[in-house]
Chains A and B, each alone.
Chain A
């Protein structure tokens, strides 16, 4: 661990605790913004992905284009995607959110379709035989049975988004990414380490929280592994 870049500077430790205690307000604000950016992206992503997923599940015709389009969005590297939006939406939250939502779509749509496809035909037929109308069947049979796969998608989308939000620091948003960016610009390790550690901690906690939610909401899936 050679600090070759630092010339004549005081030794820069990985963590300077005094900086943390002196900048608690900035750190908390960055964390809160990070959570907000992530929540908006995942919720808007879900709002778009559920109808898209239902269409892709029901219609062979639209499935290909929907998967191709979301796949292309997912393939474009984050920095490039944000840069493509920048000239149109500028240094605003729109640039960040459009990009972030774009990345959640493939994950969410795929898991919704995979989950719905996994519902056994016999179950669906039984529901129909019991007199369920299509909408009731969807709401009370198909979607609940697909729920574990959907939540699994939400978990992956959330964790991925938490990581991606940091990149939006380059376009003036960034949450914890702004701490990382700040550490980079000032050649000062503490904010960089704080930003990274909090980001990973946030991701792990969200993942565990969603896993807990999944267990609570789908008690029948507890005993066996999700197919």
Chain B
């Protein structure tokens, strides 16, 4: 660790070499395959979590009961370490490789990702639904809309930015797939591989985050989009503003 500055230069050289190595781009352990795995795993777990969480959050928000429970579940959910969820899921559903390599199987990773994604989605969809102005809801009723129409044509469109923000928060959790380069890098003390894996995970997460931010903007009804003159910031990445309200 003595030649720090020279070491850093050659370290980046090693990382670049790692990326240039054609062996790292082929087969099941190659970058393209693992990126695909990564996206597949994230997509599948977020979708599954959404199928479970959104109906709960939307129902609770629509009927206005059980809100305290929804908020508290999400608060505790924040506190449960993702690391522990993954390890517990691995305990329950079995390891694929030996524990020393830290190789988590696809099933435990999937279960852990779903479990971690549910709380923020429940809270955000709940808060989104509660944020809908009471007057707007009453106006909809007064116009003769039925309950179902109020839900689907008034409440859901207005709540959409929050719901999407919840999904964005969940989508950036990363284990497995490209994470294998990080875990193997740790295991083998191969720092260039570790660093390369971390760079790829970080870049992929940012790409997903920005694309979902675009989807969120598109899913916001035109009348609710922040105009250039209003000062209000959109809920960025998570329910932070709304969490401040909830807390």
Contact = CB atoms under 8 A, between A and B. Distances in A.
A33 interface: no
Interface stretch (A39-47, A83-91, A130-138): A83-91
B182 interface: yes
A180 B89 CA distance: 13
A166 B201 contact: no
Interface residues of B: mostly helix, strand, loop or mixed? Answer: helix
Contacts of A74: 237-238
B231 A117 contact: yes
B191 interface: yes
A88 B179 CA distance: 20
B149 to A, nearest CB: 30
A80 interface: yes
Nearest to A78: B82
B83 A177 contact: yes
A156 B76 CA distance: 11
A163 B240 contact: no
Contacts of A166: 81, 83-84
Interface residues on B, range: 35 or more
A83 B240 contact: no
Given A80-B205, A88-B8, A184-B99, A199 B244 contact: no
Contacts of B99: 184-187
A163 B82 contact: yes
Nearest to A167: B83
A181 B82 CA distance: 12
B168 to A, nearest CB: 9
A1 B92 contact: yes
Contacts of B80: 163, 196, 199-200
B143 interface: no
A163 B78 contact: yes
Contact of B76 (A1, A186, A204): A204
Contacts of A115: 244
Given A67-B236, A80-B198, A106-B237, 14 more contacts: A67-B233, A71-B236, A77-B202, A83-B198, A114-B240, A114-B244, A152-B243, A156-B243, A159-B78, A167-B83, A180-B87, A184-B87, A192-B87, A195-B84
13 contacts: A5-B91, A75-B172, A76-B201, A77-B174, A83-B186, A111-B244, A117-B231, A156-B78, A160-B78, A162-B79, A167-B81, A204-B79, A207-B79
